[in-house]
Amino acid sequence: MNMSFLLNGKSVSVAPKTGSETLLDYLRLEADLCGTKEGCNEGDCGACTVIVTG
């Protein structure tokens, strides 16, 4: 199953490799967009927050 979304105005469609990847993994490792940081690894601190708009 592919995930499709817009990334900086461009259409992206990716197939998860293991099913446990996160959007943060994709942004940092696949798209080379390292501005989003991993902090607590639990979602509590907000360091990995990304903006999702309609």
Of 54, 3, 51, 1, the closest CA to residue 30 belongs to 3
CB 50 within 8 A of CB 26: no
Provide the mean pLDDT of the chain: 84
Long-range contacts of 42-51 (CB under 8 A, 24+ apart): 48/24, 50/23, 50/24
Model confidence, pTM: 0.68
CATH architecture, range 1-54 = Roll (3.10)
Predicted local confidence at residue 54, as pLDDT: 67
pLDDT at residue 11 tops 90:
yes
Task: Give the sign of the dihedral formed by CA 13, CA 54, CA 40, CA 38.
Answer: positive
Show me where the domains of the chain are located.
Answer: 1-54
Tens digits of residue pLDDT in 27-52: 889 999 988 788 887 878 887 777 77
